[in-house]
């Protein structure tokens, strides 16, 4: 069984490298996943940090958040974009969507350092503002994610949820989430990765938020651990996960992914190549119950961006054949749909 396969397996791609000024719409990458024998650079990121600055965050907690956000800023590249939303009684954008160039990073650090804790906790207001930020940025096509940090209960929705709980003991916490962020049958939505700080946090609500959006939940036990938790989460936002389901021994499946690759000036690069994609795989061995990571050689798991002037390799015929199969299947499906409409 492939459990949430972080796709890192042998794959084929149209070209092993792409000149930096070349643009490809629908660049095809074929991922091939095979179960073991029975015997045996990156995409630009749009990040919204939603930070609780209610009165309970005053003192050491807020200072640690500021230091942790400094590490997050340091981890972002020049093409990544950061927005910071602070919430207490209401929400406000402390940092509007800003590319993390040298000037952008400096401005973000100053804005975070200016945060002051006061008021009560209105998680919904913070997430509403985050959704607005993402809706404004969605046309750019970058990878998007939200990190939400809170140490308390939402004071604005808790009373209403308590009344609803009397009639329906199963709380879904949908009142804390704007529809734009919620997964729609597993296909749409922006993951909200929640961080619960201290013993007074609302674990059920933060769990509900992360589950409804396809994000993760983390418990921050002490002040120092937040600096170890936030930056790795941000790094993981660039990853795409595909769950393959169960595979029999030696069973083999192929997946064709299409990416839109934008052209970029050579001046943006410090070296001759940049990694555009990298692939890996994790699966559970049903016989042992162990989770096994598969990391093949780099030449099978990455697509590189090269400077203009470098020779462009010939496209893969195997990927092209798979692309033609997909196009033929889509044409057949359209023909069937048209025939049914006529009938």
Q: How confident is the model at residue 34 (pLDDT cuts 50, 70, 90)?
A: low
Report the chain's mean pLDDT, rounded to a whole number.
76
pLDDT of 322 strictly over 60: yes
Considering the chain, tell me which residue range(s) the CATH 3.40.50.410 domain(s) occupy.
Answer: 46-236
Residues 164-173 pLDDT 10s? 444 444 455 6
As a whole number of angstroms, the distance between CA 256 and CA 29 comes to 6
pLDDT of 24 strictly over 90: no
Q: Are strands 45-52 and 192-197 parallel, antiparallel or unpaired?
A: unpaired
Closest residue by Cα to residue 32 from 204, 216, 201, 244: 244
Q: What is the pLDDT of residue 197?
A: 81
Q: What is the pLDDT of residue 40?
A: 39
Q: What is the pLDDT of residue 108?
A: 97
Least confident of 62-76, 101-115, 302-316: 302-316
Collapsed DSSP state (helix, strand, coil) of residue 109 = helix
Q: How confident is the model at residue 95 (pLDDT cuts 50, 70, 90)?
A: very high
Taking the alpha carbons of 149, 83, 190, 173 in that order, is the dihedral positive or negative? positive
pLDDT of 227 strictly over 80: no
Give the mean model confidence (pLDDT) for residues 255-266: 67
Q: What is the pLDDT of residue 3?
A: 32
pLDDT higher at 59 or 152:
59
DSSP string, 317-339: HHHHHHHHHHHHHHHHHHHHHHH
Give the mean model confidence (pLDDT) for residues 147-155: 86
pLDDT higher at 340 or 86:
86
pLDDT higher at 258 or 218:
218
Least confident of 85-94, 98-107, 221-230: 221-230
Give the mean model confidence (pLDDT) for residues 28-40: 60
> φ, ψ for residue 45 (rounded to 5)?
-115, 130
- Taking the whole predicted model, whether its pTM rises above 0.95 is answered as no
Residues 325-340 pLDDT 10s? 878 888 888 888 888 8
- E strands along 81-170, which residues? 81-87, 91-99, 143-150
Q: How confident is the model at residue 299 (pLDDT cuts 50, 70, 90)?
A: low
pLDDT of 214 strictly over 70: yes
CATH class of this structure's domain 46-236: alpha beta
Choose from 26-35, 122-131, 144-153, 331-340 the range with maximum mean pLDDT.
122-131
pLDDT of 221 strictly over 70: yes
336 burial level (CB within 10 Å; 0-12, 13-18, 19+): exposed
As a whole number of angstroms, the distance between CA 69 and CA 236 comes to 16
């Amino acid at each position: 069984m492939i459990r949430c396969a972080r796709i890192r397996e042998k794959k084929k791609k149209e070209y092993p490298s792409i000149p930096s000024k070349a643009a490809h719409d629908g660049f095809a990458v074929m991922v091939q996943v095979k179960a073991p024998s029975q015997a045996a650079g990156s995409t630009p990121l749009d990040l919204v940090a939603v930070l609780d600055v209610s009165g309970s965050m005053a003192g050491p907690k807020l200072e640690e958040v500021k230091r942790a956000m400094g590490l997050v800023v340091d981890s972002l590249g020049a093409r990544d974009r950061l927005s910071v939303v602070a919430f207490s009684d209401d929400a406000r954008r402390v940092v509007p969507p800003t590319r993390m160039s040298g000037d952008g990073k400096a401005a973000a650090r100053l804005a975070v350092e200016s945060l002051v804790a006061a008021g009560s906790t209105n998680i919904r207001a913070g997430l509403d503002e985050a959704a607005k930020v993402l809706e404004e940025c969605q046309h750019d096509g970058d990878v998007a994610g939200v990190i939400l940090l809170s140490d308390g209960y939402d004071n604005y929705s808790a009373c209403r949820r308590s009344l609803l709980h009397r009639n329906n003991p199963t709380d879904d916490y949908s009142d804390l989430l704007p529809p734009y962020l919620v997964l729609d049958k597993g296909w749409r939505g922006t993951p909200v990765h929640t961080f619960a700080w201290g013993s007074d946090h609302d674990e059920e609500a933060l769990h509900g938020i992360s589950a409804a959006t396809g994000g993760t939940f983390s418990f921050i036990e002490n002040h120092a651990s937040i600096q170890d938790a936030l930056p790795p989460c941000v790094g993981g936002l660039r990853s795409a996960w595909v769950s393959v389901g169960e595979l029999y021994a030696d069973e083999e499946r192929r997946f064709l992914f299409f990416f839109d690759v934008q052209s970029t000036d050579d001046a943006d690069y410090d070296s001759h190549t940049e990694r555009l994609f990298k692939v890996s795989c994790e699966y559970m061995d049903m016989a042992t119950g162990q989770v096994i990571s598969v990391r093949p050689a780099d030449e099978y798991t990455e697509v590189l961006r090269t400077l203009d002037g470098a020779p462009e390799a010939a496209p893969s015929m195997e990927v092209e054949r798979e692309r033609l199969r997909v196009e033929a299947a889509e044409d057949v499906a359209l023909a069937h749909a048209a025939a049914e409409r006529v009938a």
